[in-house]
């Protein structure tokens, strides 16, 4: 039997047992070792997660997964280029591989997305998430071998850091010496700062609330030159002042919910600057969108969603070579039995905890 922390309803997590899947129809089994948690896990937990095409219902959450391959069809393992016993990092998407997005290599925008951590238990074989000691891997999965010698707890940051490389570097087109503004110093913001610093960014500025003091300190250690506390000043004015009035080359909005930072990002970039919007606003539009400013200053705006295959590789290489500093901000690591508590800590519900990176140490 496999044990899985199962989300049975809003704020209700139960440890349940499931029969181990048969691999007769293909696929593989993964022994989950570490599953990292992000804001999406918390939104699922509280019943506030909604994205088009994503089913809800009773499910095993967990989409930032590293583990060891237990078993798999030999042809499939050959196709993946892995062997039983290999340590792998699992991309969350399970693409269909036949829609226009998939066949052109853009599987992140697959029109019929299925994903680990988001698939209900009534879809056989139920074990579709990382909050489980054993999970099923669809033949359509995308795996990355974990570099030799890389601790799996450090490797578990591969997902968040892949977002950092994707948004701050690849999507933004970061070139050596360019200045970067990262709005929001949460998990994703810190990953963007790490990736930008590793990729030769010049000045890096970040923003956060006074209550984010722990994260703003982490941002400075990870490479931010300036952390603006938005409670006591105007972000746009502060960024202009810090850049001699010219603005930054690149601004990335990593904040969730509030739309103001997305507008601030536009006002903070230099003429012909690039804005990457990666924080979802739960359906809210932004009043005061400065259309004329975007036109006249020829600002480049793009959305950043998830990460590419290349970015996952960048993240794993970085973690293998110099991941220890980022991993020092893995503030909480809990066993599977305490998945609910891990989610509460992550969501800031426990006043004495100051979470940054939270994960389940499954086996």
Closest approach, Cβ 157 to Zn ion, in A, equals 11
Instruction: Tell me how far, at minimum, the Cβ of 45 lies from Zn ion, in Å.
Output: 12
Closer CB to Zn ion, 91 or 264, in the complex = 91
CA distance linking residue 239 with residue 226, whole number of Å: 9
Which is nearer to Zn ion, 95 or 313 (by Cβ)?
95
Taking the complex as a whole, how short is the minimal distance between the CB of residue 163 and Zn ion, in angstroms? 8
CB of 37 to Zn ion, least distance (A): 7
Nearer to Zn ion, 40 or 259 (CB): 40
* Long-range contacts at 347-352 (CB < 8 A, ≥ 24 apart): 347/42, 347/45, 347/46
Toward Zn ion, which CB reaches closer, 95 or 247?
95
- Smallest distance from Zn ion to CB 177, Å: 31
Q: In sequence order, which residues have a C-beta less than 8 Å from that of residue 79 and are 6 or more positions away?
A: none
Rounded to whole angstroms, what are the CA distances from 219 to 179, 186, 231, 256, 341?
15, 9, 17, 18, 26
Q: Pick between residue 119 and residue 235 the one whose CB is nearest to Zn ion.
A: 119
Q: Which residue has the tokens 């009043």?
A: 287
Nearest C-alpha neighbor of 318 from the set 170, 182, 188, 146: 146
**What residues line the site for Zn ion (CB under 5 A)?**
38, 40, 95-96, 99, 102, 110
- Least distance (Å) from Zn ion to the CB of residue 18? 23
For the bound state, the minimum distance from the C-beta of residue 309 to Zn ion, rounded and expressed in Å, comes to: 14
* CA separation for the pair 343, 46 (Å, rounded): 9
The answer to whether 42 and 175 have CB atoms below 8 angstroms apart is no
b/e per residue 226-254 (b: at least 16 CB within 10 A): bbbbbeeeebeebbbebbeeebbbbbbbb
66 beta partners = 34, 89
Report the residue number, 62 or 247, with the smaller CB distance to Zn ion.
62
Which DSSP string corresponds to 121-175? TTSTT---SSSBSEEEE-TT--EEEPPTT--HHHHTTHHHHHHHIIIIIIITT--
Give the Cα separation of 291 and 298 in Å (integer).
10
Toward Zn ion, which CB reaches closer, 38 or 155?
Answer: 38
């Amino acid at each position: 039997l496999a044990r899985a922390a199962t989300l049975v309803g809003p704020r209700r997590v139960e440890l349940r047992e499931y029969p181990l899947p048969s691999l007769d129809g293909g696929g593989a089994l993964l022994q989950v070792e570490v599953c990292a948690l992000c804001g999406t896990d918390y939104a699922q937990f509280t019943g506030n997660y909604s994205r088009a095409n994503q089913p809800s219902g009773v499910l095993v959450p967990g989409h930032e997964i590293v583990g060891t391959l237990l078993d798999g069809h030999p042809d499939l393992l050959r196709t993946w280029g892995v062997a039983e016993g290999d340590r792998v990092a699992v991309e969350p998407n399970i693409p269909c591989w036949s829609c226009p997005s998939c066949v052109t290599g853009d599987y992140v925008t697959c029109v019929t997305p299925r994903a680990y951590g988001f698939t209900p238990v009534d879809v056989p074989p139920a074990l579709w998430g990382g909050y489980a000691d054993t999970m099923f891997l669809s033949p359509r999965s995308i795996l990355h071998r974990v570099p030799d010698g890389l601790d799996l707890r450090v490797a578990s940051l591969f997902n968040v850091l892949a977002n950092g490389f994707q948004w701050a570097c690849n999507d933004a087109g970061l070139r050596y010496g360019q200045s970067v503004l990262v709005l929001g110093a949460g998990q994703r913001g810190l990953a963007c700062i790490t990736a930008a610093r590793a990729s030769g960014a010049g000045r890096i500025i970040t923003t956060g609330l006074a209550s984010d003091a722990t994260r703003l300190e982490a941002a400075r250690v990870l490479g931010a030159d300036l952390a603006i506390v938005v409670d006591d000043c105007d972000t746009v004015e502060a960024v202009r002042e810090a850049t001699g009035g010219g603005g930054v080359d690149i601004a990335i909005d990593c904040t969730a919910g509030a739309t103001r930072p997305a507008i601030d990002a536009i006002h903070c970039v230099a003429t012909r600057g690039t804005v990457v919007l990666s924080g979802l606003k739960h359906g809210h539009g932004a009043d005061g969108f400065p259309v004329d400013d975007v036109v006249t200053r020829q600002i480049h705006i793009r959305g950043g969603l998830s990460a590419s295959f290349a970015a996952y590789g960048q993240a794993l290489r970085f973690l293998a070579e110099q991941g220890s500093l980022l991993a020092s901000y893995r503030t909480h690591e809990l066993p599977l039995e305490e998945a609910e508590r891990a989610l509460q800590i992550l969501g800031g519900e426990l006043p004495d905890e100051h979470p940054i990176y939270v994960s389940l140490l499954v086996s």
